[in-house]
């Protein structure tokens, strides 16, 4: 299948920024679990941009951030890779209501949001 690589990369890159904006709004409105779900989604989309760029194909249909790091062949610090693993909790809780636990407090959500902003900015900067 021939795909327009630059168009796909831009689709995922800009989608990451849109999801990041939604995360910020939701966390600001004290919709913490939903906001963290969108934090995960922002990182996922940024990683999918890298997967497209690196593989020259559509990204895999997965929400697993650490798997996407591997597909994109990104070299992350251990702390960055661990952060990706920690964020997995929020995509699961956001998709499967029976698995919802108490969301982190507002201050912790703000920290997750800040780390997500930094991660998306860094990932988009590498494109």
Taking a C-beta distance cutoff of 8 angstroms, is the pair 27, 113 a contact?
yes
Alpha helices of 1-127 — where are they, by DSSP H?
A: 5-28, 32-55, 65-72, 78-95, 106-126
The pLDDT score that the predictor gives to residue 99 is 66
State the DSSP H helix or E strand holding residue 99, giving kind and residue range, or none if neither. Answer: none
Q: What is the CATH number of the domain that holds 96?
A: 1.20.120.330
Distance CA 61, CA 87 (A): 17
Does 107 have pLDDT greater than 70?
yes
Residue-wise pLDDT tens digits, 83-100: 999 999 888 755 666 666
* pTM for this model (two decimals): 0.93
- Give the chain's domain count: 1
- Residue 127 belongs to some domain of the structure: no
Q: Which two tokens stand for residue 93?
A: 């809780």
- Residue 23 belongs to some domain of the structure: yes
Q: Which two tokens stand for residue 121?
A: 């900015």
Residue-wise pLDDT tens digits, 5-51: 999 999 999 999 999 999 999 999 999 989 999 999 999 999 999 99
Distance CA 119, CA 92 (A): 20
Taking a C-beta distance cutoff of 8 angstroms, is the pair 35, 24 a contact?
yes
Domain containing 52 equals 5-122
89 phi and psi angles, rounded to 5 deg: -55, -40
Residue-wise pLDDT tens digits, 57-85: 999 999 999 999 999 999 999 999 999 99
The pLDDT score that the predictor gives to residue 101 is 72
């Amino acid at each position: 299948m021939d795909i327009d690589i630059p168009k796909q990369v831009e689709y995922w890159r800009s989608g990451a920024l849109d999801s990041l904006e939604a995360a910020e709004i939701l966390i600001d409105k004290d919709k913490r679990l939903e906001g963290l779900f969108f934090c995960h989604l922002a990182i996922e989309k940024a990683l999918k941009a890298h997967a497209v760029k690196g593989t020259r194909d559509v990204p895999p249909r997965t929400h697993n951030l650490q798997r996407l790091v591997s597909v994109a062949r990104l070299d992350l610090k251990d702390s960055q890779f661990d952060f990706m693993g920690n964020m997995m909790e929020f995509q699961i809780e956001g998709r499967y209501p029976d698995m919802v636990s108490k969301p982190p407090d507002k201050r912790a959500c703000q920290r997750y949001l800040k780390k997500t902003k930094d991660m998306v900015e860094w990932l988009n900067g590498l494109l």
